[in-house]
Structure 1
Amino acid sequence: RVLVTFSVSPTDGRAADRSLLDLFSKSVNWVERTTDYDENEADVHRTAWYVAPGWEIPYEYDEGDAQPYNLMPDWMVELRDRMMATVGKDLRERDPELGPPNSCNWNWYRTADANIGAHADDEYLFDGDNREMAVVGFSVGAEREFQILNREKEELRSLILPKMSYCTMEGWFQRDFLHSVPPAPPTGEGKEEEHRINVTWRWIVNKEKPAGRE
């Protein structure tokens, strides 16, 4: 079973979106990352990794480059609970034993060039190669294209993620598909480039790398 769902938050509205964008940009403990597309723009793409108490584990965004963990503050736990109130019912219908996610990864796209290449969230922490798993994304700020590549058929599909939208990847998605966020078209002359911040909620199941896994 593979499932991708998409919805817009019921708190849709430009004022709410800008308020959350301001909160996230100022309150998340961001780490600057050098990107493949331009090594001279290390501050274009920023990331952060947060966990619930009891799951204090770093996250390897790239192999050999561990992302330090942060504990979720109260406002982030409230954001997580709001997410579960919005999409959790559908998630639990497909997995009745699913509790709140115990981790989340943040990405801040500061320009239209900021992007993430095709990849899967298949790290050992989540064990998505060996079991069905869910990832829930929430986006604020500029809308961006979200691409999905079928590994076997090499078919590419895409959808637009608007501001204040949720997107879930469930089942065997991480095993069978890759996903990416390509660069956005440049903004028109004289128009301010809008930032985008995305958080993906995840469920850690392995605290240690299984024996034999690279």
Structure 2
Amino acid sequence: KRQRGASPELARGVNCAAEQSRGEIGLRLLKELAVEKNNPHAAKWEYPLMDEAKRCFAGFMKCSIEPESLKGFFDRIAKGTTWGQPVDPRSGEPIPRKTAWMVLPGYNACTYRYGGVDVEPQEFPDWMVDLMQVYMPLCGLSSREEWPNSCNLNLYEDGAMSVGWHSDDEKLFGGRWNDIRIISVSLGQARTFELREVGIEEGADSRTKYRMRLGDGDLCTMEGLTQKHYQHRVPKEDISEPRINLTWRWIRRRPEGQAQAVDGASKKP
């Protein structure tokens, strides 16, 4: 996971040239899958980030779930998750949020490692399946065989909790060089989510930052090569209410000795 200021494009070996187009490689956005599956909410998808030259996309769907259902999910997740707050070995301080890492049965050896922190997996509980049954069809993923096999959870207890600029480019997911899909749902307090191109330092105005306000129940995606060419963060804010964020992903590289998983984003139509 690349932290703010740690490695500009050339230092990390990123090719700054234009990438092949979506049409050339057969990449379909989740909105397109939802349209194909005739999901009644498919037209609600927006894409604030549409960088066709770099094949980077970030989608947004305003919540269409009843508030009572959202509160029920928030409470089940908050109480039914074993939360941790690992110490960042670089600073010697706890990371500024609580976290958990969950996987499908069969992926229990897949420890999530990022920024010097190791998070051991927990198996998907029943409420995870219930939540995915609500949200995956909105992404055009109606069959369980198409669903992600892992989920990173973050609990921001108030606005002082945050996550800095980074890319989700760990080998476990293959996002540094491959097209991948990341699906995120927010529950509770609205928070700001920002993206910027890799190599852009704090205060630089030469390139655009993309900003979304993610409210209770809202969906957000990062698709294509977004983890190669962009960073994202959740900055600190002057708020006091909690927020839970669930980020679903596909494990592509299991630990040595285990069969390799396949990310649905790499499948051509």
Q: TM-score, normalization: structure 2?
A: 0.66
Q: TM-score, normalization: structure 1?
A: 0.81
C-alpha distance in 2, partners of 1:6/1:172?
A: 17
**1:81 counterpart SS class:** helix
C-alpha distance in 2, partners of 1:130/1:162?
A: 31
Alignment of 1:64-213 (within 5 A): 65-88=117-140, 99-151=146-198, 154-184=207-237, 186-187=238-239, 193-208=240-255
User: What residue is the counterpart of 1:190 in the other structure?
Assistant: none
Task: Give the drift of 1:8.
Answer: 2.1
Deviation sequence 1:155-188 (CA, Å, 0-9, x none) = 322111111100000000000000000001x24x
Whether 1:16 aligns to 2:63 is: no
C-alpha distance in 2, partners of 1:143/1:99?
A: 29
Whether 1:50 aligns to 2:102 is: yes
What amino acid is aligned across from residue 128 of structure 2 in structure 1? M
Q: CA RMSD in A?
A: 2.3
CA, structure 1 residues 48+168, in 2 after alignment: closer, same or farther (shift >3 Å)? same
C-alpha distance in 2, partners of 1:17/1:76?
A: 13
Alignment coverage as a number of residue pairs: 192
Contact map agreement 2:77 2:127 (CA 8 A) in 1: no
Contact map agreement 2:76 2:127 (CA 8 A) in 1: no
C-alpha distance in 1, partners of 2:77/2:209?
A: 31
CA, structure 1 residues 145+82, in 2 after alignment: closer, same or farther (shift >3 Å)? same
Task: Give the drift of 1:34.
Answer: 4.2
C-alpha distance in 1, partners of 2:213/2:81?
A: 25
Whether 1:25 aligns to 2:87 is: no
Contact map agreement 2:164 2:233 (CA 8 A) in 1: yes
Task: Give the drift of 1:82.
Answer: 2.1
C-alpha distance in 2, partners of 1:203/1:48?
A: 16
Percent identity of equivalent pairs: 31
Q: Which has the higher strand share?
A: 1
C-alpha distance in 1, partners of 2:192/2:66?
A: 19
Between structure 1 and structure 2, the one with the greater Rg is: 2
Task: Give the drift of 1:80.
Answer: 1.9
What amino acid is aligned across from residue 3 of structure 1 in structure 2? F
Contact map agreement 2:73 2:127 (CA 8 A) in 1: no
Deviation sequence 1:99-120 (CA, Å, 0-9, x none) = 2100000000001110000001
Deviation sequence 1:13-33 (CA, Å, 0-9, x none) = 2x3332222111100111123
What amino acid is aligned across from residue 169 of structure 2 in structure 1? D
Contact map agreement 1:126 1:202 (CA 8 A) in 2: yes
